[in-house]
Amino acid sequence: MNAIISASDLASALAGGNPPVLLDVRWQLSVAKAAGEPPFDGRAAYLAGHLPGAVFVDLDRELAGTAGAAGRHPLPDLAEFGAAMRRAGVSAARPVVVYDGGQGWAAARAWWLLRWTGHPDVRVLDGGLTAWEGPLSTDVPPPAEGDFAPDPAAAGLLDADGAAALARSGVLFDARAGERYRGDVEPIDRVGGHIPGAVSAPTHDNVGPDGRFLPAEELGARFKALGATDGTEVGVYCGSGVSGAHEVLALAVAGIPAALYVGSWSEWSSDPSRPVAVGPDPQ
């Protein structure tokens, strides 16, 4: 099953006999703002206009736990996550399509969580809301209660120790911008740099100027050139497990399975005992 869906294919699916549940997960990374500038409000953006029938899902409250030692966006409590998905109308027998404002990070986080917890049919709208050419709605639908019950997979999830080990035994991609990987700047976390052995693979290189994923063949060639050759175990991390989910999605488009270190750099760098590498060299 393809992990992404085009806007035209989504329009056809919505007109079919078993239309997908639509989840709107608009979100932006919270970085220190100038005084007086309000933070991005995903719910307000949703209320101003969304795909007809879509239900808003709050990334910070429903797709992540409370920020702390485990990172800025740790795994949510799975019982609470399952309840949130059921409230949104998610059922095991009905496909799900997730979208955000166009960057794809938040939608990928929802896609990864649903897939990791056992939903069999989840896709991300390629290009997000900006790719949609149909009408938008301001109606807030009352979705019928779903029946989705999270059943996490044994594979697909890394902790700090697992990420460190994978950087030595396989390939661990760092999905952040190159300057954060090198430690040139660090606008959010305690210290800059990367997990020793990790390979820089910025998420923004997985998409074209329109925000849509590059063709599967190009993505496959990119990741293989970075070390994801046949038989190599692959993992991904980022700042807090959001843009990293987008890289896992890009790898899935290329046909390469990968695990996600959800705690990512926000967890790793919070512990002064963990080693930090700086500069362009993985080590």
Judged by DSSP in three states, 118 sits in: coil
Q: How far is CA 35 from the centre of its chain?
A: 29
SS (H, E, C) 60-93: HHHCCCCCECCECCCCCCHHHHHHHHHHCCCCCC
**Amino acid at site 171:** V
* Helices 243-253 + 105-116 axis angle, to 10: 70
Output the furthest CA–CA distance in the chain (Å, rounded): 55
Strand order in the sheet with 55-56: 4-5, 122-125, 96-99, 21-24, 55-56
42 annotated active-site: no
Give the whole-angstrom CA distance, residue 147 versus residue 132. 28
Cβ atoms of 226 and 171 within 8 Å: the answer is yes
**Alpha-carbon distances, residue 176 vs 55, 69, 96, 244 (angstroms):** 29, 20, 27, 8
Distance CA 57, CA 61 (A): 8
To which residue do tokens 């993992």 refer?
Answer: 235
The residue annotated as part of the active site, out of 63, 97, 198, 238, is 238
Nearest to 222 by CA among 175, 187, 153, 186: 175
Nearest to 163 by CA among 234, 256, 63: 234
Catalytic residues: 238
